[in-house]
């Protein structure tokens, strides 16, 4: 790998994301030689930490995520980290930061390259972007900015944030990160669709009946009640992760695999995204909230959550497009906290075909994203010694060793930022479409709230609200994973 000179500034350097994801990922990139001698990382946050203390934190973060560590490498790696106590609202602090970045740029010959990483509470993103511009923090080499989700909380606020960021950065230099796009099995969707004649030939709305995307979590909101109250499952999981998955499933074939062609194909699809009307929302969308048990809190009892909160911890719904290979075909999704088990999966349900064996039979293609990685196709054959049809799975699996080699999504995506590959990042025009869709659902739910209609309460550690079983277009449809 080529060594890429850069000074990286992480806003939120004392935070959980930096500790759990960014520092270990950067260490792995360091070990592979992508960043080596000519880099420095400035961690910023309000706390009065020292460089030394940050380095200890970085070292702890690496130890916590690696079973074996080369201690010499780690010590040298950590020595490239600097801490700057920073109040994002204070103009003078940006001056200090700018001077430190320049000093480190000289010391490490970073060639004026900068990466700014927004890894803190989203309410500060706009302000930071504004100050990067007003205080001229960008430099003479490449200037890239990585923005964590959520990018706004509706279309209007996203537009405002985008305006603030584009004052200093071109669209090509804005990396709106969605960690699902760094997951192995999400990156497997296009190769699966495009390289298998067996699959490619059935990838159309006359053969596929529906697609079902399930992102189920076992955990509740834990300590994130404050954030979650302002978000809910729709903004937290659907606006980004679920929509990105659906886009990859439904987009037309890209001309080639360049970032430009992939984004162009995505855009073609998203221009035909069908925005549901009120009646469709009432029929095809369900929101839920988990109840407590003897040993767990219900959502409304969680810390920093209002006692009468209507924030949804579960949502199921339907997406349709007017164009593309799956035009007009329902794509169902659901996601929730405190579900039976952690399971991220995609079920592609093929239409039934009546046949000489009496019953109508079909095939499903299932992609398991987490916690295991797997693809399987359900096929039919004959039962041994008795009449009838037996169903078996043909599986594409990974060995334990292979699973162990799969890099964390953040490592992959950070790598992409360094090498300027924006294939697996969200383009502004995509995001705009996602927000348009989300906004109408939020508005409909707001009206429901005003009419006293609350999210359906569901028992924890099951499959979510019962009403989620009734969102389908036709009575012959049901959740394949239940």
The contact set with ligand BG6 (CB under 6 A) reads 217, 236, 344, 370
Concatenated DSSP letters of 132-181 = HHHTT---SS-EEEEEPSP--SSHHHHHHHHHHHHTTS-GGGEEE--GGG
- Report the helix count and the strand count for the chain, using DSSP H and E: 18, 15
Residue 52: CB partners within 8 Å, gap ≥ 6?
Answer: none
Taking the least distance from each CB to ligand BG6, the nearer of 184 and 217 is 217
What residues does 118 pair with on adjacent strands?
Answer: 11, 147
| Nearest of 101, 107, 87, 73 to residue 44 by alpha carbon | 87
- Our CB check for ligand BG6 shows the closer of 159 and 370 to be 370
Nearest to 321 by CA among 476, 214, 434: 434
Tokens of 197: 């004649």
Asked if residues 63 and 57 have their Cβ atoms less than 8 Å apart, the reply is: no
217 vs 430 by CB, closer to ligand BG6: 217
Q: What are the DSSP calls for 62-111, one per residue?
A: HHHH-SS--HHHHHHHHTTEEEEE--TT-HHHHHHHHHHHHHHHHHTT-T
Shortest distance (Å) from residue 280 CB to ligand BG6: 26
- Between residues 22 and 54, which has the closer beta carbon with respect to ligand BG6? 22
User: 238 labelled as ligand-binding?
Assistant: no
> Residue 390: CA atoms inside 13 Å, Cβ hemisphere, count?
10
Least distance to ligand BG6, CB of residue 304, Å: 15
Q: Which two three-digit tokens encode residue 331?
A: 């794509």
- Answer yes or no: is 87 a known binding residue: yes
Q: Which member of 36, 93, 241, 284 is catalytic?
A: 241
Known binding residue 383? Answer is: no
**Least distance from ligand BG6 to the Cβ atom of residue 123, Å:** 15
Q: In what order do the strands lie in the sheet with 39-45?
A: 81-85, 39-45, 6-11, 114-118, 143-147, 174-176
> Which of 30, 15, 238, 39 is closest to 118 using CA atoms?
15
Cα–Cα distance, 109 to 39 (Å, whole number): 8
The answer to whether 183 is a known ligand-binding residue is yes
149 is in an annotated binding site: yes
| Residue 344 or 364 having the CB closest to ligand BG6 | 344
2 assigned ligand-binding residue: no
3-state secondary structure of 314: strand
Measured between alpha carbons, how far is 11 from 9 in angstroms, rounded to an integer? 6
Strand, helix or coil for residue 207: coil
The least CB distance from residue 428 to ligand BG6, in Å, is 19
- Give me the least distance between CB of 247 and ligand BG6, in Å please: 17
Distance in angstroms (rounded) separating the CA atoms of residues 220 and 338: 5
21 assigned ligand-binding residue: no
| Rounded (10°) angle between helices 23-31 and 71-78 | 120
Taking the least distance from each CB to ligand BG6, the nearer of 54 and 186 is 186
Is position 412 annotated in a ligand binding site? Answer: no
Q: Is 241 a catalytic residue?
A: yes
Residue 28 CB, nearest approach to ligand BG6 (Å):
17
- Nearest residue to ligand BG6 by CB is 236
* Least distance CB 352 / ligand BG6 (angstroms): 32
DSSP, collapsed to helix, strand or coil, labels residue 388 as coil
Q: Of 83 and 437, which CB lies nearer to ligand BG6 in the complex structure?
A: 437
Under 8 Å CB-to-CB from 162, ≥6 apart: which residues? 151, 152, 428
Q: To the nearest whole angstrom, how small is the minimum distance from the Cβ of residue 257 to ligand BG6?
A: 24
Q: Which is nearer to ligand BG6, 105 or 178 (CB)?
A: 178
Q: Which residues are catalytic?
A: 241
Known binding residues for NADP(+): 46, 87-88, 149
Known binding residues: 46, 87-88, 149, 179, 183, 217, 236, 337, 342
Known binding residues for substrate: 179, 183, 217, 236, 337, 342
């Amino acid at each position: 790998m080529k060594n890429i000179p850069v000074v990286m500034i992480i806003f939120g350097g004392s935070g959980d994301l930096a500790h759990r994801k960014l520092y270990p990922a950067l260490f792995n990139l360091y070990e592979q030689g992508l960043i080596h001698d000519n880099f420095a990382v400035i961690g910023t946050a309000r706390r009065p930490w020292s460089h030394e203390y940050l380095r200890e934190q970085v070292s702890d973060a690496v130890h916590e995520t690696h079973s074996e560590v080369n201690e010499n490498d780690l010590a040298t790696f950590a020595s490239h980290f600097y801490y700057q106590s920073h109040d994002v609202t204070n103009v003078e602090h940006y001056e200090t930061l700018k001077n430190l970045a320049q000093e480190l740029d000289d010391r490490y010959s970073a060639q004026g390259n900068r990466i700014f990483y927004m890894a803190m509470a989203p309410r500060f993103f706009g302000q930071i972007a504004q100050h990067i511009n007003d205080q001229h923090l960008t430099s003479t080499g490449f200037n890239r900015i990585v923005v964590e989700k959520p990018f706004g909380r509706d279309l209007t606020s996203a537009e405002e944030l985008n305006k603030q960021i584009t004052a200093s950065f071109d669209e090509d230099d804005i990396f709106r990160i969605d960690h699902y796009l760094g997951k192995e099995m999400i990156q497997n969707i296009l190769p699966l669709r495009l390289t298998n004649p067996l699959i490619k030939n059935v990838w159309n709305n006359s053969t596929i009946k529906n697609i079902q995307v399930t992102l189920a979590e076992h955990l509740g909101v834990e300590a994130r009640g404050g954030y979650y109250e302002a978000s809910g499952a729709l903004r937290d999981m659907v606006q980004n992760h679920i929509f990105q998955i659906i886009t990859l499933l439904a987009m037309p074939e890209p001309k080639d695999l360049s970032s430009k062609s992939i984004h162009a194909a995505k855009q073609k699809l998203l221009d035909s995204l069908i925005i549901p009307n009120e009646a469709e929302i009432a029929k095809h969308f369900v929101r839920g909230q988990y109840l407590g048990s003897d040993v767990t809190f219900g959502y409304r009892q969680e810390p920093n959550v209002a006692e009468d909160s209507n924030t949804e911890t579960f949502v199921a719904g339907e997406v349709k497009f007017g164009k593309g290979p799956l035009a007009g075909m329902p794509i169902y999704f659901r996601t929730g906290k405190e579900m039976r088990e952690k399971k991220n999966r995609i079920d592609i349900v093929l239409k039934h075909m009546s046949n000489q064996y009496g019953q109508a039979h079909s095939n499903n293609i299932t992609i398991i994203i987490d916690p295991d990685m797997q693809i399987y196709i359900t096929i039919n054959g004959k039962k041994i010694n008795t009449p009838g049809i037996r169903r078996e799975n043909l599986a594409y699996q990974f060995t334990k060793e292979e699973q162990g080699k799969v890099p964390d999504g953040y490592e992959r995506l950070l790598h992409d930022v360094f090498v300027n590959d924006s294939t697996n990042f969200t383009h502004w025009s995509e995001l705009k479409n996602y927000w348009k869709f989300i906004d109408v659902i939020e508005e409909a739910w707001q009206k429901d709230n005003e009419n006293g209609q609350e999210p359906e309460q569901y028992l924890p550690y099951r499959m979510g609200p019962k009403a989620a079983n009734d969102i389908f277009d036709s009575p012959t449809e049901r959740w394949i994973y239940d």
